[in-house]
Structures are given as C-alpha cells and as structure tokens.
C-alpha cells in the first residue's frame, strides 16, 4: 500500500492514515483501517482496493462456521448466542430460506 497518492479531487498530496473503524453503533470494531487524507483540501477517502480488503476482512471475521446436525428425521444447524441476541431471535419465529445457488442461500427473518 502506497504511503502517498494524489487526491482525486484537487490532485494534492494525500497521505496514508489508519484509524479504528466503528460499525453498527460500535458493535463491530475494525482496528487499523487504512484511508488517505489530502493535505490540501482535507478530503478523506479510501481506494477501491482498500474497500475490497475491508469487505473481505469483515466477511472473514464476522462469519460463523456451524456443523450440520441431526434433529430427529431432519438436519439442523445451531445458532451462536451472539447472533440470537443481535437479531433478537425467539423460539417460534420464522426464517425464510432462499436458495441462491448450489453453495449459497440467504436467510430472511420474517
């Protein structure tokens, strides 16, 4: 990652900075998130590469690998307590499962 690039607005000198990024009202913290700040116009921005890396980091850190288990004659997965609390899940609530491809599905709370 370059320590200095040209500002996309004023073509001034933008220097690399790092800061703690807080998402979802502080529930998700990303430390040392890189961005550039222009010394001329004071614009703060991230490159597309930085945004892609941030997206990958969030997806990697905030995913849960769960085993598929037997539940009677069905298969089931368990949910971690953090997700249960975050989404305020309760017994009896419904979740819609939408197949998107052979290896991806979306869960929608009803």
If asked whether residues 54 and 82 sit together in one domain, one would say no
Contact by Cβ (8 Å): 15, 41: no
If asked whether residues 18 and 43 sit together in one domain, one would say yes
**Residue 52, C-beta contacts closer than 8 angstroms, at least 6 positions apart:** none
CATH number at residue 33: 3.10.20
**Confidence grade of residue 19 (pLDDT, cut at 50, 70, 90):** very high
Residue 22, domain extent: 4-61
Q: What is the pLDDT of residue 39?
A: 97
pLDDT digits (tens, 9 = 90+) for 30-68: 889 999 999 999 999 999 999 999 888 888 777 888 999
Mean pLDDT rounded to a whole number for the chain: 92
Structure token digits, residue 63: 């995913």
**Confidence grade of residue 1 (pLDDT, cut at 50, 70, 90):** confident
If asked whether residues 50 and 83 sit together in one domain, one would say no
If asked whether residues 12 and 33 sit together in one domain, one would say yes
Count how many domains the chain has: 2
If asked whether residues 54 and 95 sit together in one domain, one would say no
pLDDT digits (tens, 9 = 90+) for 78-91: 999 988 988 999 99
Structure token digits, residue 64: 């849960």
């Amino acid at each position: 990652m370059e320590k200095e690039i040209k500002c996309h607005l004023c073509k001034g000198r933008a220097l690399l900075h790092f800061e703690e990024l807080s998402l979802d009202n502080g529930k998700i913290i990303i430390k040392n998130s890189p961005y550039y700040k222009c010394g001329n116009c004071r614009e703060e921005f991230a490159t597309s590469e930085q945004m892609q890396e941030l997206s990958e980091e969030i997806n990697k850190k905030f995913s849960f690998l769960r085993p598929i288990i037997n539940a009677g004659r069905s298969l089931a997965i368990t949910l971690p307590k953090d997700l249960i609390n975050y989404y305020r899940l309760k017994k009896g609530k419904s979740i819609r499962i939408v197949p998107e491809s052979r290896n991806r599905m979306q869960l929608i709370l009803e």
